Amino acid sequence: MSDAERLWGPLHVPVERGTRERPHPTVAQMRAQAPDEEPGDLDADWLRELCLSAGVDDVGFVALTTPGLEDERDYVLEAMPGTRALIGFCLRTSRDNLRSRSISAANREVATTQELAHEAARRICLELQRHGARALYPAAGLPSEIHRFPNRSWVVSHKLVAVAAGLGQIGLHRNVIHPKYGTFIVLGTILVDRPISRYDRPVPSNPCIDCGLCVTTCPVGAIHADGEFDFDACYTHNNHHELSNFAGWVEDVVDSADAADYRQRVTPGETLSVWQSLSFSPQFRAGYCVAVCPAGTDVLGAYLADPQEHARDVVQPLTRKPEYVYVDADSATEDHVRTRFPHKTIRHARRVVVPEPEIDPAPENHDRP
């Protein structure tokens, strides 16, 4: 027996090939069936019950053509051509995990809830496919279309879909605040190729009560009372071990002359933080804006009853926490940390300048004939 026969012989399976005169039996069987009726709209009440039974805590439906989602269209259609509607949904997170001074407890809750969101979305998609609809769920967070970084690397903006679908409004901290659950939610989206019989509308008022707690608690001062938001400051600190900041760590490793030189650049604790992000899931350095937010009817009552207790038990432990805060050198953010949080340790982020994507930088244009 030759080497090729030894390798492939056991894998060879005779195939019954069909012809025009004698088609394959499965093909003949399918063609003999009555043609399916033109698929109609998905019933909104049935779909809502399906989503809730799959484990989501709230859900809303919007057409892809909904005003405000224009910039999502081509990215969505690239991911699943023929998409007609979007299902926006949310799952609650455990408030006390996210409020804890223990950042590992907060990160564990975010990662767990995101996976539950993926599991629920998968169940919904499989059931929709069983009913003849096509359905796709993008990731709640990572992985992303990393080949498009630093440009837009997500398939669809879960925040924009959530707002359009009536799941809440964007608060001062740039997170979606649900009218009931507040900011303690994880968002997800499902793409479907069928219209839905009834669509939702945005909630009429913003649940954000403009308390300013997110402004005072943010370690890098990214949230401004006037509504401005410094994304770069937030990203540099909160996502320090991800993306271009991670690439900076790689270059620190490469550029180090020896172990002693490496330890001058990167502390042992930072090395362990990188290991933890690689081993388990991305570890965010601060979700304080979410932790201190009292908005949402499930949350607001306790805050209004005793704001001082909220400050003592939630806000102050986070503002007093000694920790590394990652900033760009000689920036306004560095001045903010030195002035507002002198007990926190400033670390200069080594970020790699990522060039604009050269391959497939934008979605396919779906207006072409």
Sketch out the chain's domains with CATH numbers: 44-192 (3.40.109), 213-348 (no CATH)
Give residues with Cβ within 8 angstroms of 359, minimum separation 6: 147
At 154-164, the pLDDT tens digits run: 999 999 999 99
Looking at residue 129, its pLDDT comes to 97
Looking at residue 150, its pLDDT comes to 86
Residue 141, classed as helix, strand or coil, is coil
Give residues with Cβ within 8 angstroms of 278, minimum separation 6: none
Query: Taking phi first (over 0 means left), then psi (-120 to 50 degrees means alpha), and beta for anything else, what does residue 302 get?
Result: alpha
Question: H-type helices in the chain, by residue range?
Answer: 3-8, 25-32, 44-53, 73-79, 95-99, 103-130, 158-164, 213-217, 231-238, 243-255, 259-265, 268-279, 288-291, 297-305, 307-310, 316-320, 332-340
Residue 161, classed as helix, strand or coil, is helix
Sign of CA dihedral 39, 43, 44, 46: negative
β 345-348/324-327 pair status: parallel
Note whether 293 and 214 are within 8 A (CB). Answer: yes
Low-confidence ranges of the chain (pLDDT < 50): none
CA separation for the pair 96, 111 (Å, rounded): 15
Looking at residue 243, its pLDDT comes to 81
Give residues with Cβ within 8 angstroms of 305, minimum separation 6: none
Note whether 182 and 296 are within 8 A (CB). Answer: yes
CA separation for the pair 321, 329 (Å, rounded): 22
Give 317's Cβ-side CA count (13 Å radius): 13
Note whether 271 and 363 are within 8 A (CB). Answer: no
Q: What is the pTM of this model?
A: 0.91
Indicate the burial class of 214 (C-beta count within 10 angstroms; 0-12, 13-18, 19 or more): buried
Looking at residue 142, its pLDDT comes to 86
H/E run at residue 86: strand 85-92
Residue 201, classed as helix, strand or coil, is coil
H/E run at residue 89: strand 85-92
Strand order in the sheet with 85-92: 58-63, 85-92, 185-192, 135-136
